Structure 1
């Protein structure tokens, strides 16, 4: 198991920033780590990367405990923090060579060249970091995180500030890396989670409130099913309220409706019977998937 977190807790004064969380991540999996601001995401990432110690519990990376073997953990982790600390007076290539030396890499010339190419930094390599746009500074941080070819990548808002073309490039890179490496990705961009992640962990007020695939999360709901239906006729909207379990009906146009249904039975069977009983011709019936944003709001109370 690449990452193993057991009963992890971090306390600041009277506040439990991380409150007894446990999860495991195998190699070759990209995990989206989501939560509102202040939920404990960055704190968990800092513990995993040995930047801060936990108050209780343990966090292991590739079998090494961050408290007992922090150097071994750091050898195996590439970390891109949300606020990427860079040296603005250094040139891009100079900074990456400096970072390689600091990581104890001896023959790093080819690896630096590879990371410059992979992250699309070639046109900017001779510029000072302070002259770069935010998007290119993110690329420098990502290149630095990958320099030592770590087994685990922990990325806190890795696509922040990127333009659409840069977004596509970096997402493709992360997806490719995730085929061989373990990636934990924190982001507020739900489309990014859907595009990249095999699994999603949602944390709220320091506790894990969901751990599932994107599809599994979307199948969750507050107990309601949304169905879009259309008929050849133009039935009265209030007619649907006679169906047990129908909570809300919204008319889209004369023939189309959105129906919110609360109940355990398959609403499709009920609607077919309803159409027959009321001499209506059912043209279309489609279950609406919840968006990841909807699920996130439900689970975090936002």
Structure 2
């Protein structure tokens, strides 16, 4: 579904992403981890077509992100770290706008998609409220809803449970797991327990390079008896010292 081949992104003399390569298959929930400034968000922005790579290649469902940007964006649902929305719109108005912008023009289909994501993201009680008057948790749910309203084949979610309480986090995790059967999902998070809870692969990137690409079980086995947080710190601290 997604192939990343030696992606590089330079900002002047700073190399933010340095030869990153990996593949994501249908059914994968990939935990994409790394310290702040490691290159995670830059990599995801290149995959989604929001940034142009300095070199290397990324494809989504066989379409090159640089040569076929529209086809790629049609197949991706993206939740950025700070999910943008029009604060003066109600939830229903905003999601309707996103559906139409995604090319869903049939009114019955728009209504059906809207009803589906409102239920999935537990937004029924706030659907007629303006986004500026929502709590951070509800705004985050609106962000997830806009990412899935067009039923994309690939989901790229940057901190999808940020600002949610434990019950809300559980609901979002269940939703991600339910969708993974027929999608490829990239989940960037600082909450390492989410990797154990729902991911079947983990990639750690630091200083723009991939350090780890394996199952969560193999990752934890690197340091028997340690928590996943401790293994993460051990790997990334070694990389800093190196």
Please tell me the TM-score bracket, short chain as reference. Answer: over 0.9
Report 1:188-203 matches (<5 A).
188-203=190-205
Moved over 2 A (4+): none
Which position in structure 2 is the counterpart of 1:94? 93
Aligned with 1:168: secondary structure? Answer: helix
Task: For 2:51 and 2:24, locate their aligned partners in 1 and report how far apart those are by CA, in whole Å.
Answer: 20
Residues 1:172 and 2:186 aligned together: no
User: Which structure's residues are more often helix, by fraction?
Assistant: 2
How far residue 165 of structure 1 moved from its aligned partner, in angstroms, is 1.2
Q: 2:114 aligns with which of 112, 115, 125?
A: 112
- Largest Rg, 1 or 2: 1
1:72-130, CA deviations, whole angstroms, 9 ceiling, x for partnerless residues? 00000000000110111000001000111111111211101110111000000010000
User: Which structure's residues are more often strand, by fraction?
Assistant: 1
Residues 1:299 and 2:200 aligned together: no
Report 1:230-249 matches (<5 A).
none
1:123-142, CA deviations, whole angstroms, 9 ceiling, x for partnerless residues? 00010000100010011011
1:11-53, CA deviations, whole angstroms, 9 ceiling, x for partnerless residues? 0011110000111111111000000000000000000110010
1:156-191, CA deviations, whole angstroms, 9 ceiling, x for partnerless residues? 000000011111111100111112210000000011
Aligned with 1:59: secondary structure? Answer: strand
For these two proteins, the number of residue pairs brought into alignment is: 235
| CA root-mean-square deviation | 0.9
**More RCO (CA 8 Å, sep 6+):** 2
Residues 1:53 and 2:52 aligned together: yes
Structure 2 unaligned segments of length 5 or more: list them: none
Aligned with 1:37: secondary structure? Answer: coil
Structure 1 unaligned segments of length 5 or more: list them: 222-287
TM-score, length-scaled by structure 2? 0.95
Residues 1:31 and 2:30 aligned together: yes
Aligned with 2:181: secondary structure? Answer: coil
TM-score, length-scaled by structure 1? 0.77
Which position in structure 2 is the counterpart of 1:157? 159
